[in-house]
Amino acid sequence: MMQNVHLAPETDEDDLYSGYNDYNPTYDTEELENDTAFQQAVRTSHGRRPPDGVTRPMTAVRAAGFTKAALRGSAFDPLGQSRGPAPPLEAKNEDSPEEKIRQLEKKVNELVEESCIANSCGDLKLALEKAKDAGRKERILVRQREQVTTPENINLDLTYSVLLNLASQYSANEMYAEALTTFQVIVKNKMFSNAGRLKVNMGNIYLKQRNYSKAIKFYRMALDQIPSVHKEMRIKIMQNIGVTFIKTGQYSDAINSFEHIMSMAPNLKAGFNLILSYFAVGDRDKMKKAFQKLIAVPLEIDEDDKYISPSDDPHTNLVIEAIKNDRLRQMERERKAMAEKYIMTAAKLIAPVIETSFAVGYDWCVEVVKASQYVELANDLEINKAITYLRQKDFNQAVETLKMFEKKDSRVKSAAATNLSFLYYLENEFAQASSYADLAVNSDRYNPSALTNKGNTVFANGDYEKAAEFYKEALRNDSSCTEALYNIGLTYKRLNRLDEALDCFLKLHTILRNSAQVLYQIANVYELMEDPHQAIEWLMQLISVVPTDSRALSKLGELYDSEGDKSQAFQYYYESYRYFPSNIEVIEWLGAYYIDTQFCEKAIQYFERASLIQPTQVKWQLMVASCFRRSGNYQKALDTYKDIHRKFPENVECLRFLVRLCTDIGLKEVQEYATKLKRLEKMKEIREQRIKSGRDGSEGPRSRREGSASSDSGQNCSASSKGERLSAKLRALPGTNEPYESSSNKEIDASYVDPLGPQIERPKTAAKKRIDEDDFADEELGDDLLPE
């Protein structure tokens, strides 16, 4: 090979630029076609032969796919594709133990996932069933693995996840004993690493069971097993320990826990709980310091300026618009709202006790807040100060505090004016209320509370259409303004647009599911729409929410009475009477019911109570006497009539019954009562004639009815039929001909004095004769007045 190597000629002087035009002919590719050695090497392995004297190793060319047939013109097919498709893969043996284990393991994982998903969807029962099923299949899986492989190959992670999920589902379903047992299985198994931290879960269960000593024990055990590098978890456990100490009343221990947290990693919950603990022990100075620590807790959220576009760049504006209400922004809002809630609650809690008066305490809190990152809360605290004045019934101070905001920014001014409008509305000063409502609306046109108050002032003036417009605008600004929705329903009801009113109240019912006011309004609208069945259904829902509401119960009784179901009506009227035994209408109905059912003795207690509630109404005492008479207790009836006559000496009905009873019993006082009766009837007749003559000859249609009240009221009484409601007025009492209606003081004016002087007394014989002929032979009295 040396003949191919060309050496540069030696020269006496070294030429730096020599040799650049010389090249090795080996790299001359242009002459390869004429190079015999190269052509021979291409056709054979001659070019790979070692130099002479060295034995060439044997090689094989067949394995590369080159055959003689290929040289004879056959197609080049090194991969053997011309031989057809490859044979199918060998099918899995599904009956093999390994394959069964894999399938079962997959099924267990699916059940655990389904259990977790069901829990997140709120279906706790299904989640527990899936967790139990996963536990059963996992135990079968462990047994099968032990038969096929060694115990070291058991999937511990799967076992851990199955047991942990099962314990969590037991706890979610409040099956605490089972949950604790399952957690114990995990904790006691030394093969599970980091299982000790599950003692926190066990502590939480004991806390729910109010076993506070064990809860603290398990929290501390968990705290000992968690290394210090997990700082955040240790802080959370210490916070649980502090809360448990508060529940047990060990405030000093709780203070130690929260003070440690606030020194290591201050957060809002710990700061608020620290204030609660100091409030419980009554340490004013520490309350102030704790409040300052709470104010100083960093929020760790971006400023609002980040979401304001600094330029007109469309790309920047799109980005800001996208992040303005994303999940991170929502989380920041929630965190800020939570901080404001804690600070406001803490200020309202400690303000009355940290200084000599609550006003001075509020002022201190306001000053601290003004110097913090929550400066906008200072105005809200001032408004809360005014509300506190309201709760203390100090309206003047509340008004003065709110009027301080009239010259501040529009948002605060609108809030203060809204409260002032509400105050004046409560005091029925509608002009002032309207004025401040206008101020609130002008300061903040999008304030739904201000618009609602303005609508209220217009509603009070009777302009229902305009009031509805204000309520609608409030709803457009805030669709969750339930006050406006409720008020617009009332407005439609006043306008007799019952379908629209019902629609409003039904929408409100979807928002406030258990609102007694909403349920009552729906029932009332159905009653106005003459649909008593729907009204009864909604009232039944109402009494399930407020079972002691006497008005709702009496309304149910009224509806059942109108439907003719007296037994159901009696049940609800009686329940109403039990909760509020001073409702005259209910008392009257119950008394009438017992008279209708011929139990006059039971009616007496109701009419006696009515006479105690309305001692100036003679009709209740007359009914008591009538019940005694109808039940056969004539002596008691006579005593009662005499007592009534002493209290109401000019009551005609009482004298009539006295005369009747004395006659039947044969008492000597009959002449005295008869004389008084005729004198009163004569005075009544003269008075009616003068009233009639004073009307210039116009007939008085009531005079004849008043003069014969006993017959009129007697004719109106009849046995009640199905569907007839027991009237609240006594003239409609079933089965009686007693003249209760004419016993009111309006018909017999006891204070009337005849200007012509007292009438000449008639001879007793004439009076006796008149009584026999006119009164007791009068067919209008009816035979049922006679004692049986």
Query: What's 226-272 look like in SS3?
Result: CCCCCHHHHHHHHHHHHHHHHHHCCHHHHHHHHHHHHHHCCCHHHHH
Mean pLDDT, residues 492-507: 93
Tell whether the model's pLDDT for residue 750 goes beyond 70. Answer: no
Q: Which long-range contacts (CB under 8 A, 24 or more apart) does 369-373 make?
A: 369/295, 369/343, 372/295, 372/296, 373/295, 373/299
Amino acid at 522: I
Find, among 710, 679, 702, 713, the residue nearest to 776 by Cα: 710
pLDDT at 569: 93
Tell whether the model's pLDDT for residue 244 goes beyond 70. Answer: yes
pLDDT at 82: 61
Residues 6+ apart with CB under 8 A from 1: 51
In angstroms, how far is CA 180 from the centroid of its own chain?
32
Decide: helix, strand or coil at residue 35.
coil
Q: What does the alpha-carbon distance between residue 238 and residue 263 come to, in Å, rounded to a whole number? A: 13
Q: For 435-451, write each residue's pLDDT tens digit.
A: 888 888 888 888 898 89
Find, among 419, 350, 436, 421, the residue nearest to 383 by Cα: 419
pLDDT at 145: 82
pLDDT-derived band at 771, boundaries 50, 70, 90: very low
The H-or-E segment that residue 33 falls in is: none
Q: How far apart are the first and last CA of the chain?
A: 159
Q: Which long-range contacts (CB under 8 A, 24 or more apart) does 368-376 make?
A: 368/291, 368/292, 368/295, 369/295, 369/343, 372/295, 372/296, 373/295, 373/299, 374/295, 374/339, 374/340, 374/343
Mean pLDDT, residues 640-663: 84
Q: What is the percent of the chain with per-residue pLDDT over 90, rounded to a whole number? A: 32
Mean pLDDT, residues 449-457: 90
**Ranges 191-200, 346-355, 558-567: which has the least confidence:** 191-200
User: Which of 288-292, 422-426, 723-727 ranks highest by mean pLDDT?
Assistant: 288-292
Name the E strands within 36-106.
none
pLDDT-derived band at 761, boundaries 50, 70, 90: very low
Amino acid at 716: N
Q: Which long-range contacts (CB under 8 A, 24 or more apart) does 768-773 make?
A: 768/671, 768/674, 770/678, 771/659, 771/674, 771/677, 771/678
pLDDT at 119: 92
pLDDT at 1: 43
Mean pLDDT, residues 298-323: 72
The residue behind tokens 């990693």 is: 265
Tell whether the model's pLDDT for residue 80 goes beyond 50. Answer: yes
Tell whether the model's pLDDT for residue 757 goes beyond 50. Answer: no
The mean pLDDT of the chain is: 77
Q: What does the alpha-carbon distance between residue 222 and residue 237 come to, in Å, rounded to a whole number? A: 8
Q: Between 784 and 81, where is the model more confident?
A: 81
pLDDT-derived band at 189, boundaries 50, 70, 90: confident
Q: For 259-305, write each residue's pLDDT tens digit.
A: 999 998 899 999 999 999 999 999 989 999 999 999 888 887 766 66
Mean pLDDT, residues 597-620: 88
> Is residue 618 a contact partner of residue 628, using CB atoms and an 8 Å limit?
no
DSSP type of residue 739 = -
Mean pLDDT, residues 170-193: 89
Find, among 144, 190, 140, 194, the residue nearest to 162 by Cα: 140
pLDDT at 713: 34
pLDDT at 600: 86
pLDDT at 64: 52
pLDDT at 239: 93
pLDDT-derived band at 17, boundaries 50, 70, 90: low
Taking the CB of residue 121, how many other CB atoms lie within 10 A of it? 10
In angstroms, how far is CA 210 from the centroid of its own chain?
26
Mean pLDDT, residues 723-751: 36
DSSP type of residue 159 = H
Task: Give me the phi and psi of 211, to 5 degrees please.
Answer: -95, 75
Tell whether the model's pLDDT for residue 380 goes beyond 60. Answer: yes
Tell whether the model's pLDDT for residue 517 goes beyond 70. Answer: yes
pLDDT-derived band at 307, boundaries 50, 70, 90: low
pLDDT at 247: 92
Mean pLDDT, residues 110-138: 92
Find, among 583, 565, 584, the residue nearest to 720 by Cα: 565
Q: For 707-717, write each residue's pLDDT tens digit.
A: 333 333 333 33
Taking the CB of residue 379, how many other CB atoms lie within 10 A of it? 21
> Is residue 421 a contact partner of residue 460, using CB atoms and an 8 Å limit?
no
Mean pLDDT, residues 417-422: 84
pLDDT at 716: 37
Tell whether the model's pLDDT for residue 618 goes beyond 60. Answer: yes
The residue behind tokens 């996208």 is: 322
Q: Give ∠ CA 167-170-171 in degrees, rounded to 5.
A: 90
Q: What does the alpha-carbon distance between residue 699 and residue 657 come to, in Å, rounded to a whole number? A: 30
> Is residue 351 a contact partner of residue 276, using CB atoms and an 8 Å limit?
no
Q: What does the alpha-carbon distance between residue 684 and residue 448 come to, in Å, rounded to a whole number? A: 62
Residues 6+ apart with CB under 8 A from 414: 439, 440, 441, 443, 444, 447, 450
Decide: helix, strand or coil at residue 463.
coil
pLDDT at 524: 94
Tell whether the model's pLDDT for residue 737 goes beyond 70. Answer: no
Tell whether the model's pLDDT for residue 726 goes beyond 50. Answer: no
pLDDT at 173: 92
pLDDT at 513: 87
DSSP type of residue 773 = I
Taking the CB of residue 761, how many other CB atoms lie within 10 A of it? 10
| Global confidence as pTM | 0.53
Q: What does the alpha-carbon distance between residue 250 and residue 241 come to, in Å, rounded to a whole number? A: 11
Mean pLDDT, residues 31-51: 61
pLDDT-derived band at 525, boundaries 50, 70, 90: very high
pLDDT at 651: 82
Tell whether the model's pLDDT for residue 104 goes beyond 70. Answer: yes
> Is residue 377 a contact partner of residue 343, using CB atoms and an 8 Å limit?
yes
Tell whether the model's pLDDT for residue 306 goes beyond 70. Answer: no
Q: For 666-699, write each residue's pLDDT tens digit.
A: 777 778 888 888 888 888 888 888 887 766 555 4
Find, among 349, 408, 417, 407, the residue nearest to 375 by Cα: 408
Q: For the packed helices 156-172 and 97-120, what is the interaxial angle rounded to 10 degrees?
A: 30
Q: Label residue 491 exposed, middle or buried (CB < 10 Å: 0-12, 13-18, 19+).
A: buried
